[in-house]
């Protein structure tokens, strides 16, 4: 089955810095890669996703890049703000499968 590794487990940055979280996956058949943000005590919520026919996708201060050859995808947050502090989860799923495989999460702390 699919295996998703997520790094780092904790990331501490100063407000205004950039943050990068990386995930690697094992199954080359995976073709959908969502990222979820979970604030303390809240539900995970989708912030951005990418499909395997696209190499990069941006939405204001966040972007996701996908390298299918190396089987890794990354979340980039620019100009971080304290409200970006949360746990971020990556996931991967294959065409025809409705069971995503999640990474273990990255706790992002943005210091004012």
Q: Binding residues for other proteins, per CB under 8 A?
A: 9, 31-32, 34, 36, 42-46, 49, 51, 89, 93-100, 102-105
Q: Hey, is 69 helix, strand or coil?
A: coil
Question: Of 8 and 16, which has the nearer Cβ to other proteins?
Answer: 8
Q: Considering the complex, what minimum distance in angstroms separates the CB of residue 102 from other proteins?
A: 5
Q: Which two tokens stand for residue 88?
A: 């971020």
Whether residue 56 contacts residue 64, with contact meaning beta carbons closer than 8 Å, is answered with yes
Q: Considering the complex, what minimum distance in angstroms separates the CB of residue 106 from other proteins?
A: 10
Q: Considering the complex, what minimum distance in angstroms separates the CB of residue 3 from other proteins?
A: 12
Distance CA 36, CA 46 (A): 4
Tell the residue number behind the tokens 């890794």, with chain if given.
Answer: 72
């Amino acid at each position: 089955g699919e295996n998703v590794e997520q790094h780092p487990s904790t990331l501490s940055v100063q407000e205004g810095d950039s943050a990068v979280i990386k995930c690697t996956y094992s199954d080359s058949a995976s073709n959908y890669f969502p990222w979820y943000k979970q604030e303390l005590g809240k539900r995970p919520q989708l912030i951005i996703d990418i499909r395997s026919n696209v190499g990069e996708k941006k939405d204001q201060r966040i972007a996701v890049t996908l390298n299918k050859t190396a089987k890794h995808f990354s979340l980039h947050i620019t100009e971080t703000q304290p409200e970006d502090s949360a746990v971020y989860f990556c996931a991967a799923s294959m065409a025809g499968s409705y069971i995503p495989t999640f990474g273990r999460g990255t706790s992002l702390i943005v210091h004012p």
